[in-house]
Each structure stands twice: as structure tokens, then as C-alpha cells.
Structure 1
Amino acid sequence: MSYGPNPWHQQSWDWRAATNFVGGGAGSGLIVAAALAGAPAWVFAAGALLVGCGLLAVWAEIGRPLRALNVFLHPRRSWMSREAWVAPLLFAAVGAVLLGVGAARPLAALLALAFVYCQARILQAAKGIPAWREPATVPLVVATGLAEGAGLWLLLTSPLTAAPVAAWAVFAALLALRLALWTAWRRRLRAAPRALAAIDHAALVFKPATLLPLAAAVAALGAPLGDGALQTLQALAGALAAAGGAWFKFTLVTRAAFNQGFLPLPRLPVRGVRRT
């Protein structure tokens, strides 16, 4: 790797770190959706499994895995430490849901929101990466995770029952919010040309994977469809919404993570020439 005025791609986080953001966001969103919908306990477990897989992936990235325990040492100043502290509380709340504790459902949803918020702040705190440090990254990552979770809930429950009108309305609102936040974030972004090229390339998947499920939600809300057609529509819409969000976050972490580079020095010293 060569350092200089030209931006370079960070080498610290690879697909395993991206998996943490993909699984953590989608799993947290699924837990929130399950709590709002009064879903069966196994849906909460599926969300916790996604969160756990993401954490396991990022743990596997560490060259000396036992050092991962150090992440718990700095909750006062590190969003990564706060994520690590929220995770076991989230798993415990989901465990209580599986044991039939009704009060644990809203608690699990609140902890899931806290978890995905911590993940968004981890990215935004990386000030050397222009595509991450933009303040609009935080609401975008949170909204993306919630939309993914709603999509996964539609997908997982599609073989069982047709989603109610309220679920489609919430799903449509989350997709519209996700797209609006992405548009505002992209407009404000001042990143390296290669980072912007990666982001715009991801948008070729992200935008259709947001607009098509949004159109499906509008159709489900306004068109007279039978339960069979609705269940097929919700499976397709949910899968698209989840896949689009996952691809965006994967690209953001692995392909758009260019450092800003060093500013060129306005004046360089020359041996034998007196300073003026």
C-alpha cells in the first residue's frame, strides 16, 4: 500500500466486518418487526441468530481472537464497546422471549434498536473515511436495518399467512424513508471518486431493490388480491428489500471505504535554498 495525496482503500475491515453490519442490522430490524407484529418467538430467535452470525464473523477477522475481550473495556468512549455491551443484553432478552416472558418483547425491540444505532455510530466515527463519516450515515444505516428486518419478517411469515394492511403500510414507509435518506446522504457526500463510483454502482441494485418492494406494498394496499397472491408478493418484496439493504452495506464497508488521502504540502523544503 502506498500513502500519499491520493485516497487509498482501507485494509482493516473486509467482508467479515461487512457481515457484522449486514447481519446485525437485518437481525435487529427483524427483532423490532417481530415485536411490533406480535410474531412467534422463533422470529425473535431468527433475528438474534443473524446478529450472532455477524458478531461471529467479525470475531473471526481478528488475528488474535482472545483479544476480542478488550472490546468491553471502553464503553465510555467507544461505540464498538457499546455495541459489545448491548449484544449480550439483547441475547438475554430474546432468550426471555423464548421462555414466554411477555415483557421481554418490547425490551428486545429497544435493545435491537440500540444495537443497530451503535453499529451506525461505529461507521460514522471513522473520520478518515469520507463515505462513512457523513452524519447522515447514522439515520441511513438505522433505517436500512429496519427496512431489511421488515422485509425478512414478510419473507419468513409469507408461507404462514398474508400480511395485514398495517404491516404493508409500515413496510412501505420504511422503504420510502430508506430511499429518501440514501438520496440525501449521496447528495451530501464528498468522497473519493472511486468511492463514489462504488456507491453509484451499488445503487444499480439498491434502488430497484427499494422501489420494486415499495411498488409491491402499494399494490398490496390498493389492489384486490387474494391471500395466495399476497403471500407470493410479500415473499418477493421482503426478499428484495433485505437483499438490497445487505448489498448497500456490504459495498459501503468493503468497496467504498477509501481514505481521503493527505493534503499536498503547499511548500516543500529544498536542500541548499534559504527559507523565504
Structure 2
Amino acid sequence: MSAFGPNPWIQRHWDWRAAANFVFGGAGSGLILAAALALPLGPARAVSLPLGLALVALGLTCVWLEIGRPWRALHVFFNARTSWMTREAFAGIALFGVTVAAFFRPGDWMEIALGFFALLFAWCQAMILRASKGIPAWREPKVIPFILATSLGEGAALAVVLAVAYNMPSPLAYGLLAVALLARAAAWMVYVASVAPKLRGTPQAALVAVTPVLLWIGTFGALALAALAAALPRHFAMLLALGAAAAAILAGWHAKRTIVTRASLNQGFSLPNLPTRGAR
């Protein structure tokens, strides 16, 4: 496939560093959302908030490193009316502020704000892909529910690990993990069914190859391990919870990296009316 021209080509502007923003930022915002929804006040929740912020910051740092002239990153704040990247940046700032406030002053309204801005950050990430009109794997509307579901699923997996680590039983965290992973699997199947026919060659094969990993390892395998973790004593549950989280999170990261870097086939362009030199 050519690097540029009327024929489709795989974009090379967004590499693993751009994918890392979706990988770490999605998991971090998902953890903060899961903490607001399912973790009671206590050490597990106290650790979840700074950990979530650290993941979001790591994702934003990776995409900042992708820029050849890093200070140009400040330009991202100048286009809130048209750019989802700008909106993501502002949502990230708000998420940092609310999370710090919720860490020191938890409360009902603070939990609502915490969940809202975590969800808003994940939504902005999904819309960044949706707004890329030239790439079929990104512009597909069905990518939005998948990005949201995998963010929550990854966050819920981390929340379960923290709940087990601090011996704070949280049936809500297990329930949230099950719902999020099943929703993610359904969203992925719908997304692939819509996008795969629009691709060809290596990008199509890469996207389709994610399905068994996401379903059998990231969904059913993770849920089986989580169910065992919920049923067995704590010294067994910790290893099982870590295994469930690893399966759920790595499968989601694999899917997002594939969407951003391997299935990102640019559709090319057409010139139906070619100019003729010397024509009047």
C-alpha cells in the first residue's frame, strides 16, 4: 500500500505513543469511574484515585512525546470549538482537579462529579477517533460504545484487585466488572461486523484477529478468574484477581492498539474530474 495517494494506505502519523494515550488514559479514567461507582470509602478507594490519575497522566505524556516540538502541545488549548483533542485536554484538567478534591473531601456530590468527568474524558477519547473521517476503523460510530465499555471494564478490573488487596469485599466491583466486560464484548462484535467489510488485507486481518483474544481471554477467561476470586479465601483470591485483571486489561489494550496503529487504513481519495493541462 502506498504512503500517500488515491489508493488506501495505513496512516503512520499516530504510532504506539498515540495508542498509549487511549490505552493508559482509558484505563485511568475507567478506574476513577469504577471507584466512584463501586468502591466504598477506605484504603482501596484512596489508592484508586491517584493510580487513575497516574495512568491518565502517563497516557497524555506519551502523546506529548509524539510531538516533534513538545511546546506545540500548548496549541491544543486553542480549539475547543472544533477539536475533540482540545476538549479531552480540558476534560483531563477538570478530572485532575475533581479527583484531588474527592481524595481529600469525599461526598455524594463529589462522587457524582468524579464519575461525570471520568466518563467525559473517556467520551472525548472515543470522539477523537470518531472525528477522523478519512479512516473507516476510526470514524465508525460503533467505536464509541466499545471505547467507553473497555475503559470501564479495565477500570473495574483494577478496582477488583484493589478491593481484594485491601481486604475490602466489594460485590459491586465484581458486578461492575461482569457487566462492563460483557458489554465490551458485545460492542466489539457489533463494531467488527460493521468495520471489517470496509477494510482489506492486513488491517482487516489484524482487526478480526483481536476477536478471539478479546472474547476468550479478555471476557470469559477474566470472568471465570474473577468468579473464583470472589469465592475463594483471600490468599487465593489475590492471584486470581490479578490474573482476571491482566486478562481483561491486556485484551482491551490489544484491541485499542490494533484500532489505532494496525487497522487504521486510510480510505484514500478520488478525483472524478481531472484537470487537463492547456484546456480552456
* TM-score above 0.5: yes
Aligned 8 A contact 1:93 1:105 in 2 = no
Post-superposition shift, 1:146?
A: 0.5
Match of 1:19 in 2: 20
Post-superposition shift, 1:135?
A: 0.4
One of 114, 117, 120 as aligned partner of 1:114: 120
**20-29 or 99-108: bigger deviation:** 99-108
Match of 2:220 in 1: 211
User: Which one-letter code corresponds to 2:84 in the other structure?
Assistant: W
User: Which one-letter code corresponds to 2:70 in the other structure?
Assistant: P
Shift in CA distance, 262/194, structure 1 to aligned 2, threshold 3 Å: farther
CA–CA distance in 1 between the matches of 2:61 and 2:3?
Answer: 31
Shift in CA distance, 99/268, structure 1 to aligned 2, threshold 3 Å: closer
CA–CA distance in 1 between the matches of 2:253 and 2:168?
Answer: 25
CA–CA distance in 2 between the matches of 1:262 and 1:269?
Answer: 16
Name stretches of at least 5 consecutive residues in structure 1 with no aligned partner: none
Match of 2:143 in 1: 137
The Cα offsets for residues 104-126 of structure 1, whole Å up to 9 and x where unpaired, read as 33312210100000000000110
CA–CA distance in 2 between the matches of 1:49 and 1:97?
Answer: 15
CA–CA distance in 1 between the matches of 2:71 and 2:274?
Answer: 45
Q: TM-score scaled to structure 1, two decimals?
A: 0.89
**236-245 or 99-108: bigger deviation:** 99-108
Aligned 8 A contact 1:172 1:218 in 2 = no
Matching of residues 127-166 of structure 1 within 5 Å: 127-161=133-167, 163-166=169-172
One of 247, 252, 260 as aligned partner of 2:259: 252
Aligned 8 A contact 2:6 2:269 in 1 = yes
User: Which one-letter code corresponds to 1:247 in the other structure?
Assistant: H
CA–CA distance in 2 between the matches of 1:89 and 1:259?
Answer: 33
Aligned 8 A contact 1:192 1:260 in 2 = no
Matching of residues 1-276 of structure 1 within 5 Å: 2-36=3-37, 37-38=39-40, 39-102=44-107, 103-161=109-167, 163-189=169-195, 190-207=198-215, 208-219=217-228, 224-263=231-270
CA–CA distance in 1 between the matches of 2:154 and 2:184?
Answer: 10
What is the aligned length?
270
User: Which one-letter code corresponds to 1:126 in the other structure?
Assistant: S
Shift in CA distance, 258/166, structure 1 to aligned 2, threshold 3 Å: same
CA–CA distance in 2 between the matches of 1:33 and 1:150?
Answer: 5
Task: Name the SS for the 1:45 alignment partner.
Answer: helix
Q: TM-score scaled to structure 2, two decimals?
A: 0.88
CA–CA distance in 2 between the matches of 1:108 and 1:148?
Answer: 17
CA–CA distance in 2 between the matches of 1:10 and 1:41?
Answer: 40
Post-superposition shift, 1:185?
A: 0.7
**44-53 or 245-254: bigger deviation:** 245-254
Post-superposition shift, 1:127?
A: 0.8
The Cα offsets for residues 162-206 of structure 1, whole Å up to 9 and x where unpaired, read as 643332222111111000010011111122332211112233432
Aligned 8 A contact 1:198 1:255 in 2 = yes
User: Which one-letter code corresponds to 2:148 in the other structure?
Assistant: V
The percentage of aligned residue pairs carrying the same residue is 43
The Cα offsets for residues 15-59 of structure 1, whole Å up to 9 and x where unpaired, read as 110110111100000001111212432210100100001001101
Over the aligned positions, Cα root-mean-square deviation in angstroms equals 2.4
Post-superposition shift, 1:129?
A: 0.6
Shift in CA distance, 156/110, structure 1 to aligned 2, threshold 3 Å: same
Aligned 8 A contact 1:94 1:105 in 2 = no
